[in-house]
Chains A and B, each alone.
Chain A
């Protein structure tokens, strides 16, 4: 089935350790809770060693192939600025990009073999895409833990999905309620911070 059916294709990208896979899993759980069929797949073979992580999520009435065809992603969620730029070719024209402007500079750049792109946000915007960029890493840091970055990013996505933001928020909180109840409140804050950051950024743009 092609892009003409109602399958929603979301590509989440970042680097190992940022919580890309967990965030996508929570997103999938939210979709499943509404009765959608869903498939989720990763390319993360070397992710523990700082490599690139991409997570494909497809949901709809019935999902066959787990992989998003290049040019058919509806939403790109970048947990790291250069990683968002790396995956823009997966998007259909008119798609939306939500991205963290926070940078994780790899050793190959640190030791001078390659350059980090000067302004990834501007480069993506120049391709005619709707971009919402904000510093999710800084927001997570403000709440006291960089690892809240994935909840901030989930909050950022919340109003861009074909289902109500509350469904996603409940999926996030339910996960913490069952595993780490002491973290429910701070994750609620992180979620709302991300959601507000995108709303404010959209107003400012």
Chain B
């Protein structure tokens, strides 16, 4: 990675929220930063890797990243970790105890909620964790605020000696705006102070600390009332006033520039007195928040009448075009909608696997097999649930494929007696949360075949490194885990672990058929790099010899986006059965020569573009 030197102080940069957070983390003198990649939070650590004077790592999961940060904080160092919303669920076990111990060096947890679910398995509101853990939550509204609030978060964390949650959303992380940056301050860690009554959370030590947690919460609530993070924007139109946080603040300000608006930058604990005062001045108070009616519920519980999710959508993002009609309905009218061009019907363009993706062979093979129940997991390979493979039956959360497969095996009744349970998991996902599930499978004698798809990358988030790739966040050589040995250590018999090339379809098919017949845990590791990472070596492309193509469509079932159907015909067999024929061509400029489509092609119509058929090669160009 070519590390650009940090821009000088007072530069006005055009930064995304993620870049702005990273810049601020560096400026505060933070010493340790850790994360597991997850959209939309990934770029924070990728960006931090470029900054000097700071240790930054990919951790194997979010709980570990938070533990790393806590360890650094105990040494008196400023520490940071980043994760996506579902990651905080994973980290929550550590979080719920470190709220009791408190922290020393400022510890900031950036949590990015995927509001609108662009690439997540659920939409959840991380602000609940602030309430649950009695911790402050800061909510920036754009990149400049993300920068400023990251700095404020470190200060707040040290003032109250507790972790601070910086709640981001997609429209912070991935929105670019102008950010004026400052200078880095060097902070020397104060050092570790032995204090078992504080750091050793056995019941006898933890109990006396609980009241301290509530004292801290009261102090934070008092601070929220007067904090600059919660400014009131006064307005001339008192028919409606707003309370808003995060990007919702910008949308309200845009849609209702004349309305009074209390911005919640420090949104947990709430500045209830300030909000009550605003409520008393306006005809209607409307809470605008993404995602859950959390502030709204707390206001109602405090006896402050307000509107919120009764007029606003419960799901997805809030934008000016959503707010205007909702508030107009409050006054019994309809907001004048801007005249716009009518929407047109266009085919969907769902995400697909890449040309030559090594997962294509795996899902093609699975789709050709009968009587499988396939337990899936999170990552690129979740796309195997789609066309043309339809070869995934479940997908819940990181690593869940393992435990669920065991449950499927143990829970099966007579109806599924002849079915084989297969679990599919990626390399990084396996290291993140899959290992424990595999141990459970071996320990409890599950009859499950595990396909461990090692493409040597966290593919879905852009090919980040992990202990399976042998490189660290900085791209430098690191200890590489041996998956076969790891699986053996977790209890899979050595002869039940196979490493296969997913581009060799017959080998893969044979391995799957044999291993699913064996009534004990088995692991098939498919070993080919992701085509988007730099170790991937494309070879000579293929093309289709038209005269030989019989239109069988077997190559189409592989699902490679480089294969195009040029012509369809319906053939009536002598038996009277109608067969759909698909004649194809290969987009030679896209083809990388993986050879997957060649293997199911019975008439041998797919050949190397060069030098076998130079004339056809030219014609296809």
Which A residues form the contact surface with B (CB < 8 A)? 1-3, 15, 25, 28-29, 32, 37-52, 63-67, 69-72, 82-83, 85-86, 88-93, 95, 105-117, 123, 127, 129, 146
Instruction: Name the one of A28, A47, A92, A116 contacting B339, with C-beta atoms under 8 angstroms.
Output: A92
Interface membership of B556, Cβ < 8 A: yes
Binary per-residue interface labels of chain B (165-176) against chain A in the complex, 1 for a CB within 8 Å, 0 otherwise: 000000100111
C-alpha spacing A70/B568, complex, angstroms:
39
Choose among A50, A82, A88, A113 the residue that contacts B561 (Cβ–Cβ < 8 A).
A50
- A70 near B340 with CB under 8 A, answer yes
Judged by DSSP, the binding face of A is mixed
Q: Is the CB of A115 within 8 A of B347?
A: yes
Known: A1-B254, A43-B118. A49 touches B383 (CB 8 A): yes
B residues with a Cβ closer than 8 A to A are 14, 39-40, 114, 118-119, 142, 171, 174-178, 247, 250-251, 253-254, 257, 317, 319-321, 337-344, 346-354, 380, 383, 387-388, 462, 532, 556, 559, 561, 563-565, 568, 582, 589
Chain A hits for B320, CB < 8 A = 65, 67, 69
Name the A residues within 8 Å of B253 (CB-CB). Answer: 64-65
Q: Is the CB of A117 within 8 A of B346?
A: yes
Q: A42: which B residues are within 8 A, CB to CB? A: 174
Which DSSP category, helix, strand, loop or mixed, fits chain B's interface? Answer: loop
The residues of B that contact A25 with a CB separation of less than 8 Å are: 14, 176
Contacting pair A15 B338 (CB below 8 A): no
Contacts of A113 in B (CB 8 A): 347, 387
Q: Across the interface, which residues of A come within 8 angstroms of B582, CB to CB?
A: 111-112
Across the interface, do A46 and B351 meet the contact criterion of CB distance under 8 Å? Answer: yes
Known: A48-B532, A123-B344. A39 touches B175 (CB 8 A): yes
| Cβ-defined contact, B339 with A49, below 8 A | no
Contact B176 A41, beta carbon cutoff 8 Å: yes
Q: Is the CB of B142 within 8 A of A39?
A: yes
With a CB–CB cut-off of 8 A, which chain A residues contact B254? 1, 64-65
**Chain B residues in 8 Å Cβ range of A70:** 321, 338, 340
Please list 17 pairs of residues, one from A and one from B, whose beta carbons are closer than 8 Å in the complex, sorted by A's number.
Answer: A2-B338, A38-B176, A40-B177, A43-B118, A44-B118, A49-B383, A64-B253, A65-B253, A66-B171, A69-B338, A82-B346, A85-B346, A95-B341, A109-B347, A110-B565, A114-B348, A116-B347
CA distance A91 to B340 in the complex (A): 6
Known: A65-B254, A112-B568. A45 touches B340 (CB 8 A): no
Closest to B564 in A: A110
Residues of A within 8 A of B39 (CB): 45
Complex Cα distance, B259 from A1, in Å, reads 12
